[in-house]
Amino acid sequence: MRGASIALLTADDAETVIPALVALLEDAVEGGASIGFLWPMSDGEAERYWRSIIPAVDSGERILLIASEDARIVGTGQLELCLRANGLHRAEVAKLMVLRSARRQGVGRALMLAAEKEARRLGRTTLVLDTFLDGGAENLYRALGWTEAGRVPLYAAWPDGTLGTTVYYYKLLD
């Protein structure tokens, strides 16, 4: 990884960097990342998304990580913590995204390792995630020891609206 550093954001921290998070989300979706949005995004859609997760960050239900380099946010990822009694040992890695200009430089790897470290700290030993087949992140997940659990064809839309196959992964932490 170049000079990026990873930080955990509080809800207050997230409020102060919403413009950078909006730019990151828009860049990721415009670049083809299938993270729940279609391109072009509607006016204010990215900001509404970020503002919608701040209460979950504030309550501790969601962990928000950022990668920054030279005071600029170049990536982000989230851990969604299961709060049900039978799932207090698990979490979902969600919305991993890296600016197109910072991809293939170790930022995604550093965010994933930080998410795993935070999950361990919180006593979460089973992690899951989903990604699009051939979406570019599968090699990273496999290299980090994630195991494919299954595929669902035509599960969600790529940013251009075409339907694609989602691949589910899991990792058991020690």
CATH number at residue 35: 3.40.630.30
What pLDDT is attached to residue 79?
98
Cα 22 to chain centroid, rounded:
14
pLDDT in tens, 102-157: 999 999 999 999 999 999 999 999 999 999 999 889 999 999 999 999 999 999 99
What mean pLDDT value characterizes the chain?
96
Number of domains present in the structure of the chain:
1
Running DSSP on this structure, what letter comes out for residue 161?
S
Work out the pLDDT band at 4, boundaries 50, 70, 90.
Answer: confident
Let me know if residue 155 belongs to a domain.
no
pTM for this one? 0.96
The range of the structural domain enclosing residue 69 comes to: 5-129
Residue 80 Cα distances to 11, 24, 60, 108, 150, angstroms: 14, 19, 9, 17, 20
Let me know if residue 159 belongs to a domain.
no
Let me know if residue 162 belongs to a domain.
no
Continuous segment of H or E residues that includes residue 132: strand 126-132
What is the percent of the chain with per-residue pLDDT over 90, rounded to a whole number?
A: 95
